[in-house]
Amino acid sequence: MESRRWPALPLAAWRDTCATLHMWTQVVGKLAIPTTPLVNHYWNLTLHYTARGLATLPMECGGRTLVAAFDFVSHEAVFTASDGATEAISLEPRTVAEFHRLVLAALERMGIAIRVWPMPVEVPQPIRFDADTTHQSYDREWANAFWRALESMRPVFEEFRGRFLGKCSPLHFFWGSFDLALTRFSGRRAPERPGADPVTRESYSHEVISHGFWPGSGEVDAAFYAYAAPEPAGFAHARVEPAGAFYSPQLKEFLLPYEAVRASASPERALMSFLESTYAAGADLGGWNRRDLERT
Contacts of 292 (CB under 8 A, 6+ apart): 165, 166
Do 203 and 76 reside in the same domain of the chain?
no
Establish if 139 belongs to a structural domain. no
What DSSP string describes 75-123? TEEEEEETTS-EEEEE-SS--HHHHHHHHHHHHHHTT----------SS
Asked if residue 172 and residue 125 are part of one domain, the reply reads: no
- The reply to whether 260 and 198 lie within a common domain is yes
Q: 180 and 173 in contact (C-beta within 8 Å)?
A: yes
Q: Are residues 87 and 205 in the same domain?
A: no
Angstrom distance (rounded) from CA 184 to CA 211: 9
pLDDT reported for residue 30: 98
Pair 171, 270 in one domain: yes
Q: Which domain holds residue 185?
A: 152-293
* Separation in Å, CA 104 to CA 64, 89, 171, 291: 17, 11, 28, 50
| Residue 186 covered by a domain | yes
Residue-level pLDDT at 192 = 87
Q: State residue 4's pLDDT score.
A: 61
Residues 265 and 222 in one domain: yes
Other CB atoms within 10 Å distance of the CB of residue 141: 11
Residues 158 and 276 placed together within one structural domain of the fold: yes
Question: Does residue 101 share a domain with residue 24?
Answer: yes
* Model pLDDT, residue 195: 84
Neighbours of 215 (CB within 10 A): 22
Cα(91)–Cα(99) distance, integer angstroms:
9
How many domains is the chain partitioned into structurally?
Answer: 2
Whether the predicted model's global pTM rises above the 0.85 cut: yes
Residues paired with residue 211 on neighbouring β-strands, in sequence order: 182, 226
Crossing angle of helices 267-285 and 140-162, rounded to 10°: 50
Asked if residue 167 and residue 106 are part of one domain, the reply reads no
Residue 246 backbone phi and psi in degrees, to 5 = -150, 160
Note whether 178 and 279 are same-domain residues. Answer: yes
The reply to whether 1 falls in a domain is no
pLDDT number for residue 59: 98
Q: Residue 230, preceding bond cis, omega within 30 degrees? A: yes
Q: Are 157 and 263 within one domain?
A: yes
Can you give the length of the chain in residues?
296
Tell whether 166 is covered by a domain: yes
Q: Which residues of the chain have pLDDT under 50?
A: 1-3
